Amino acid sequence: MRFFRAPLIAKMLFPSGIWKGKETDSIYLTFDDGPNPDVTPWVLDLLKQFDIKATFFLVGRNVQEYPELLDRIISEGHQIGNHTMNHECGTKTSLHSYISSVSKVDTHIKSDLFRPPYGKVTSNQFKKLIESGRKIVFWSWLSYDFDKNISPQKIIQKASEIKGGDILVFHDSKKAFPNLKNSLAEIIEQLIGRGFEFKTL
């Protein structure tokens, strides 16, 4: 079963994580796993078309390979965040290796925002990251754009449940692109039509 809205139990495990944005009349659009040369430019073009800003949680190895995309994200006024060096799953990675991976990204981007891949992080990893001054960002609505068993129409339908202050997760990855390109514009139009502004974290 897919929970488009973050379950309460997850928020209870990490109450000091960021689960929603500060302003209830705004939506916080985020993208994970980029930058990707086949997808990120399309996303940036769409955001420019609607004149809205988003927050990109970037994988270090991708930034290393496509620095020009990082430059474009920043130059167009979007926010950036750390998403580990190699997209490690926290619950399958030792404390030392995980913290080391996060730290390596600091050589490529400057941001105190961090989102754990898969939303999975151990309590010790979480504590260390908080102690190092990072703001750990989760989400309140997940698009499941990466899931081939979910159609763009389903994602659009579930977007009707989005509320003010929600942090939305999409992915600028090749895997997610079929769903992304057939749902994102319509969802943005819906949310603008409902009177929401888009802000960065």
Architecture of the structural domain at 18-193: Alpha-Beta Barrel (3.20)
Residues ≥6 apart with Cβ < 8 Å to 140: 5, 6, 19, 20, 163, 165, 166, 167, 168
Least confident of 3-7, 20-24, 176-180: 3-7
Query: Which of the residues 78, 83, 108, 171 is marked catalytic?
Result: 171
96 is an active site residue: no
Q: What is the pLDDT of residue 12?
A: 85
**Secondary structure (DSSP) of 173-197:** STTTHHHHHTTHHHHHHHHHHTT-E
State the average pLDDT over residues 43-55. 98
* Percentage above 90 pLDDT, the chain: 94
171 is an active site residue: yes
State the average pLDDT over residues 27-49. 98
Q: What is the pLDDT of residue 1?
A: 58
Q: Structural domain boundaries of the chain?
A: 18-193
Q: What are phi and psi of 15, to 5 degrees?
A: -65, -25
Q: What is the pLDDT of residue 6?
A: 83
79, pLDDT greater than 70: yes
196, pLDDT greater than 90: yes
* Percentage above 70 pLDDT, the chain: 100
Q: What are phi and psi of 47, to 5 degrees?
A: -60, -40
pLDDT digits (tens, 9 = 90+) for 92-120: 999 999 999 999 999 999 999 999 999 99
pLDDT digits (tens, 9 = 90+) for 141-167: 999 999 999 999 999 999 999 999 999
